[in-house]
A = this chain, B = another copy of it.
Amino acid sequence: MARTKEFDRAQVLHKAMLLFWEKGYDGTSMADLLETMGISRSSMYETFTDKHSLYLEAAQLYRRTSQEKRKFLLEAESAKEGIRQYFERHIDGSFREDTPMGCLVTNTIVNVDSPGDEINVLMRAHFDELRVAFLELLRRGQESGEIAADRNVEDLAYMLLTINHGINVAAKLNNSRERAESMIEMVLGML
Interface residues of A (CB under 8 A from B): 22-24, 26-27, 100-102, 106-107, 109-113, 115, 120, 123-124, 127, 151-152, 154-156, 158-159, 161-170, 172-174, 179-180, 182-183, 185-187, 190
CB <8 Å contact, B23 and A169: no
Measured CB to CB, the closest approach of chain B to A42, in angstroms, equals 25
Contact of A26 among B26, B154, B180 (CB under 8 A): B26
Copies in the complex: 2
Q: Which residues of B contact A27 (CB under 8 A)?
A: 24, 26-27, 111
Say whether, besides A24-B26, A26-B24, A111-B107, A159 and B172 are in contact (CB < 8 Å): no
CB <8 Å contact, A170 and B165: yes
With both beta carbons as reference points, the residue of chain B lying nearest to A191 in the complex is identified as B190
CB <8 Å contact, A110 and B107: yes
Contact of A100 among B22, B113, B152, B169 (CB under 8 A): B113
Q: Which residues of B contact A120 (CB under 8 A)?
A: 173-174
CB <8 Å contact, B174 and A115: yes
Measured CB to CB, the closest approach of chain B to A126, in angstroms, equals 10
Expressed in whole angstroms, the Cα–Cα distance for A173 and B124 within the complex equals 6
Sample 25 A-B pairs with CB under 8 A, ordered by A number.
Answer: A23-B113, A24-B110, A24-B111, A101-B113, A102-B110, A107-B110, A107-B111, A109-B172, A109-B173, A110-B110, A110-B169, A113-B172, A151-B186, A154-B182, A155-B182, A155-B185, A156-B186, A159-B186, A159-B187, A162-B162, A162-B183, A163-B166, A166-B166, A168-B169, A190-B190
Expressed in whole angstroms, the Cα–Cα distance for A164 and B156 within the complex equals 16
CB <8 Å contact, A158 and B179: yes
Q: Which residues of B contact A170 (CB under 8 A)?
A: 161-162, 165
**Which of A113, A127, A154 lies at the interface centre, i.e. has the most chain B CB atoms within 10 A of its CB?**
A113
Q: Which residues of B contact A169 (CB under 8 A)?
A: 106, 109-110, 162, 165-166, 168-169
